[in-house]
A and B are shown apart, each in its own frame.
Chain A
Amino acid sequence: MLTSPFVRKPTSVQQVMFTVLVALLPAVALYVWQFGPGIVVNIIIATVSAVGAEAAILKLRKKPVGLYVSDLSAVVTAWLIALTFPTILPAWILILATVLSIVAVKQLYGGLGQNPFNPAMAAYCLMIVAYPSAMSQWPAAGWMDLSTHLQLIGGASLDAMTGATPLDALRTGLRSGAPVSDVLTHDAFGILGGRGWEWIGLGYLAGGLFLIQRRVITWHLPTAFLGGLIIVSGLFWMANPAHYASPLFHLASGGTLLAAFFIVTDPVSGATTPRGKLIFAASIALITYLIRNFGAYPDGIAFAVLLMNLCVPLIDMKTQPRVFGHKGD
């Protein structure tokens, strides 16, 4: 016998995840336009590894394989890993990272909805610690054809093809004592941020706005993350514009826009209350900025996300909204 309600909205986890994948498409298209078809190859590799790993471990855990594989959550993780990792990294590292994120970070904690850490970011941190040099090999700006890409991910070493990421270039330049304005003439930089990367960032922005419009995410997280980053980078920049890059540069560089709309917005590992979301995302922005400027890694989003994932239970507990009729309590 059933109990009320007897009707439900035609919605599903699969549909939510599918919407996220659709929202990633503009950025993927711009990625191909700027850097060549390599990213598509990586997305396919990551997707196949993620789905394979998910199916295998679900079977081991004696869970309904079809039901959970078809929810597309593993595919979303795979795409995010492919998009955050360097494209010319050896394929086996990409596969290892994907399998680890599905098996160790997601399924060992209980699978869909149970993981305390963001799977893509945990995989990123694991790999950057384990394979620091491979993880810092980014392609130089410009189109790369398919065969070169395949050679590179097959393990070939083609130094000419790699280049510094904008954040890397900025860090190295500033360490050598040059002012920001000189450093930004480096050919890794474009109009706002990294050459090529700034276009992809616009793709993430478009996808993110689509997700807000479809109510898959709320405005709180992206706004607090971007706002926090603008404020903290703005303060440093105003204090010493020669030594610190502008807020606009930080927005357009690294994984900022990807993180704002697709990483910090992961509901499973993030804060859930309205006030909690603001605190969570703004803290990630602050930690990211500190790592970018004063830490050992050029981009600190992944570490910042993991650190704040740890704080989520506390943040949620301390920011419970007042309920109906108890506003004056």
Chain B
Amino acid sequence: MIAGLFRFKGGIKPDTHKNASAGSPIQIAPLPKQLIVPLRQSPRATAECIVVPGQKVLKGERIGLPDSPLSTAVHAPTSGTVVEITPHAMAHASGLQTRCVVIEPDGDERWTDRPTLDFESAKPKEALAWLRDHGIVGLGGATFPSHIKAGVDGGIETLILNGAECEPWITCDDRLMRERADGIVAGALILKHLTGAREIVFGVEDNKPQAIEALRTAIHGLSGDITVIPVPSLYPAGGEKQLIRVLTGVEIPHGKLGGDFGVQCFNVGTAYAVNRAINHGEPLVSRVMTVTGNVEKPGNFEVLIGTPVEALLALGQPKPDTGRILMGGPMMGFELPRLDVPATKATNCLIATSPALFPPPPPEMNCIRCGACAAACPAELQPFELYWFSRARNFGKAQEYHLFDCIECGCCSYVCPSQIRLVDYYRFAKGEIWAREREKSAADAARERFEFRNERQAREKREKAEKLAAKAAATKAKLAATAADAPAAASTDTPAGPDDAKRALIAAALERAKAQKAAVEPKNTDALTPEQAAQVAEADARRAAQAAPDTAADAPESN
């Protein structure tokens, strides 16, 4: 049982704007003309396509197979016909393309077979595979495959259900908790069973009293340790590490997962999807999304995965002065470069902007080191120091000051009186560091290949020489055998005499060359420190790589 709440440092309290859409119940979004279903439903893996154009599919029928440990299955969101399988722009700030299955709905919404799973008697492995095959990923935004998170082998004490929803404007989790608390709790119980957790804790920001009430009603009468805890409304309380900190006091460092500390955290929407998959046999083909901002009718909609953003946005009826469209919240979301992209499992919100609601950023001024960013940083970093280092391209120092502990929550940019877009500098620095690391590993691979090639060539040369020597010896033996009648002394002395003299001459010349070389060689390479030696080796490798263009050209392919 949790005695009291903990705090995380920093955090901000932006205007929540949640009232705009919090009052509107979840509506089922109408079927769009076309569904564009990306085969890549998490940043880690793309599913293998198993349908062909022209094929009829049923709602919930698998169209993509998981083909790697981090991959999950992809399903047809409705019944209809596969029109084409083509690269299509994805919902990402870059507008990059990804492979998508385009389905034309037939309007019947005919489900495929939906067998359910008795998770209590099923083997854990079977249940996890079930989640994977039903396309269950984290719906909080990161779309991390749930079967990996739930598949930790014991050691989980606390299962946290994240209903904090701390980003402004978004209300989809709020509505889900208010309207479908029973399903969320059922999913939580499944996850508890799978992780072997001892207790379940729901963390919900205290600005959602109705959601808290609904969850409390849903857990009423349930046996076992299960509680609903209102947490202070302070962005980013819904960040996984922040919520774990608030509820359990545990601080999870960068690069570690909750599982390492006996805590596992799932979004409430994920729990609901788990329940649908296990108890109802429904794969994850839809999710609740908020459409809000500069629209006439802000609301929450249950939307099929693959619905184009423009169709979804139209449901809210954007006002005429609408400008950019944001996907996700205003703190960590991104601007959509185009509107024909499909909604994905990560899409929780669409915000129509207007100059009044989202005024253009004022010009950036110099940092005055006021420390407002440090006071707001939930990772307890010194953001302005990271800003100086990133700006100066002093990436080593930036890493030393824990650049990679930055969660890009945006609190520092939000509070900066000099209007510095701090997070952009961190993104830049992280990108540069990653690029350098990639380059370095490519260079390492090239060097290894080059060394291997040298070694192989030397070996081949040696083997060839040995072969030749053996051959020569054989010939010599043969000759010796044929000349067996010649006098023994002459046959041994004659070849040995000049050979020895030659060898001595060569040895003397080598000795002289060595001495000369030693005299010429600069002194400072005599006593190298290991770092210097490594640098020299690196330089040699670079030179070698340049000298051998065929090996260097191989390098990029090694990634």
Contacts and interface: CB of A to CB of B under 8 A. Distances in A.
Given A1-B335, A64-B363, A324-B8, A12 B419 contact: yes
A322 B405 CA distance: 11
Interface string B501-514: 00000000000000
B417 A3 contact: no
A5 B419 contact: no
Contact of A11 (B15, B332, B363, B415): B415
11 contacts: A5-B410, A5-B423, A6-B326, A11-B416, A67-B365, A112-B365, A215-B375, A268-B368, A323-B380, A323-B381, A325-B252
Given A112-B368, A320-B382, A4 B405 contact: no
B365 A5 contact: no
Contacts of A71: 365
B12 interface: yes
B380 A13 contact: no
Contact of A323 (B333, B334, B405): B405
B361 A267 contact: no
Given A9-B415, A325-B251, A1 B337 contact: yes
Q: Counting chain B CB atoms within 10 Å of each CB, which of A3, A11, A112 scores highest?
A: A3
A322 to B, nearest CB: 7
Interface of A: 1-9, 11-13, 15-16, 64, 67-68, 71, 73, 110-114, 215-216, 218, 267-268, 270, 272-273, 316, 320-327
Given A12-B417, A12-B419, A324 B378 contact: yes
A324 B368 contact: no
Contact of B405 (A2, A12, A324): A324
Given A112-B365, A268-B368, A6 B330 contact: yes
B369 A67 contact: no
Nearest to A111: B366
Contacts of B418: 12-13, 113
A272 B252 CA distance: 26
A268 B371 CA distance: 10
Nearest to B376: A9
A4 B368 contact: no
Contacts of A1: 93, 335, 337
Contacts of A5: 330-332, 410, 413-414, 423
Contact of B370 (A6, A267, A316, A323): A267
B9 interface: yes
Query: For chain B, which range describes its interface: under 10, 10 to 19, 20 to 34, or 35 or more residues?
Result: 35 or more
Contacts of A4: 328, 330-334, 408, 410, 423
Given A267-B370, A272-B384, A3 B365 contact: no
A114 B391 CA distance: 14
Contacts of A73: 368
A321 B382 contact: yes
B549 interface: no
Interface of B: 8-9, 12, 14-15, 93, 168, 241, 245, 251-254, 256, 324, 326, 328, 330-335, 337, 353, 358, 361-363, 365-372, 374-375, 378-382, 384-385, 401-402, 405, 408, 410, 413-419, 421, 423-424, 427
Contact of B361 (A2, A111, A273, A316): A2
Nearest to B400: A320
A268 B381 contact: no
A112 B370 CA distance: 12
B368 A13 contact: yes
Contact of B380 (A6, A15, A324): A324
A7 B366 contact: no
Nearest to A11: B417
A11 B401 CA distance: 27
A210 to B, nearest CB: 16
| Closest A-B pairs by Cβ, 8 of them | A325-B253, A5-B410, A113-B366, A113-B368, A6-B330, A325-B251, A112-B366, A324-B379
Given A6-B326, A323-B405, A325-B251, A113 B417 contact: no
Given A71-B365, A321-B380, A324-B241, 11 more contacts: A4-B330, A7-B168, A7-B331, A8-B414, A12-B417, A67-B363, A113-B418, A272-B374, A273-B382, A325-B253, A325-B405
A270 B414 CA distance: 23
Contacts of A13: 365, 368, 417-418
A3 B366 contact: no
A64 to B, nearest CB: 7
Contacts of A11: 372, 415-417
Contact of A68 (B12, B253, B365, B419): B365
Contact of B12 (A9, A110, A215, A324): A9
B334 A3 contact: yes
Contacts of B358: 6-7
B330 A324 contact: no
A313 B51 CA distance: 62
Contacts of A6: 326, 330-331, 333, 335, 353, 358
A2 B8 CA distance: 29
Contact of B382 (A15, A272, A325): A272
Contacts of A2: 324, 335, 361
A167 to B, nearest CB: 31
Contacts of B379: 323-325
A104 B414 CA distance: 33
A11 B27 CA distance: 38
A73 B369 CA distance: 13
Nearest to A71: B365
A9 B365 CA distance: 15
Nearest to A73: B368
B419 A8 contact: yes
Contacts of B372: 11, 215
B369 A324 contact: no
Nearest to B329: A4
A71 B363 CA distance: 12
Contacts of A216: 370
Contacts of A111: 366
Given A11-B415, A325-B254, A325-B256, A320 B401 contact: yes
Nearest to B13: A9
A255 to B, nearest CB: 22
A16 B358 CA distance: 22
Nearest to A269: B369
Contact of B417 (A16, A268, A320, A327): A16
Contacts of B335: 1-3, 6
